[in-house]
Amino acid sequence: PYDMLVVGGGPAGAAASIYSARKGIRTGIVAERFGGQVMDTMAIENFISVKATEGPKLAASLEEHVKEYEVDLMTEQRATKLISADKTEDGLVHIELASGATVKSKSVVLSTGARWREMNVPGEQEYRNKGVAYCPHCDGPLFKGKKTAVIGGGNSGIEAAIDLAGIVEHVTVLEFADTLRADQVLIDKANSLPNIEIIKMAQTTEVIGDGTRVTGLKYKDRNTDEIKEVEVAGIFVQIGLVPNTEWLKDSGVTLSKHGEIEVGSHGETNVRGVFAAGDVTTVPFKQIIIAMGEGAKASLGAFDYLIRNSQ
Ligand code: FAD
């Protein structure tokens, strides 16, 4: 068995595995796709100490760093079930894979990340990273002085609009419902800013562009069924970040109401020997540098657990 098995090969999982392997303990990573969301990212300008890089380049560096150590890297493997140590005969945590195999470990770090909920409208995929964006902290500055739209009027949408309003020329917020779901303080703040316009009862129907970049979007006014157009260079989709925890449903690991794994200050979950890190957890702010720090922390938390609990 492994001493530490990391499930997920994004920034959090890579960091966890390196910290584990450097302790000289048996370490494995099971990941569907090494690199995680970083593989879907182009410009990265907020990974501190690296002025600018690209997702695939950073993912390649992550892999290179992991491979410096004795880490069993099992990619293209999807975890489908976690069985906690108190339910197994051997007292180990079992991770079942879609392939039918079971991987066993004394401790595990769950770092299966999250995915942005998409609009599923024509043009969204075509213009992803060409004007369609999901992370205002990451891509906001790329639209300096330009017109942008934010899709979604929940807390993340209104926060994004306030954040962007300080950088871009104008922000149009499109909300599907007739009310905003954001906290009132955020709504008040957004209403006080002259370059934010909020349109309710608006269903985004299409992303439009010139073949290389976004030039605008179409939405249906749900009061009149009329199709309207807004000219924008950037569209920030803020309709939810979905944690990849569906596979943990019957595991006993406590999830928040949003499906995120609840973790404590050492990355520990409520299940013995099971730790978690990165976008899949309740830790606020989903960023590469944060995921890496959390991965390191959970790994040290798991190591501390191992030295106190194994013979
Ligand atoms: P992820 O990167 O999501 O990795 C999850 C890992 O788990 C992957 O290896 C995946 O294959 C694996 N996995 C999932 N389910 C299973 C399963 N059941 N079994 C096995 N493996 C599984 N952040 C920044 O700091 N700066 C940026 O500029 C930036 N730009 C972004 C642009 C885009 C388009 C996106 C989508 C995100 C961006 N982010 C950016 C956010 C950043 O990518 C994430 O915060 C970070 O990747 C989270 O790391 P993670 O390791 O927690 O999870």
**pLDDT (tens digit, 9 = 90+) per residue, 270-294?**
999 999 999 999 999 999 999 999 9
What share of the chain in percent tops pLDDT 70? Answer: 100
Helix or strand or coil: residue 54?
strand
CA of 13 to the centre of ligand 1 (A): 10
What pLDDT digit, counting tens, does each position of 88-121 carry?
A: 999 999 999 999 999 999 999 999 999 999 999 9
Query: What ipTM, to 2 d.p.?
Result: 0.99
Q: Which of 7, 40, 41, 261 to mutate to test the pocket of ligand 1 (most atoms within 8 A of CB)?
A: 41
Atom of ligand 1 lying closest to residue 31 CA:
21
Q: Which of 38, 51, 103 to mutate to test the pocket of ligand 1 (most atoms within 8 A of CB)?
A: 38
Say whether pLDDT at 41 is over 90: no
Q: Which residues line ligand 1 (CB under 6 A)?
A: 7-13, 30-34, 36-38, 40-41, 44, 46, 78-79, 111-114, 116, 134-135, 138, 244, 247, 278-280, 286-289, 291
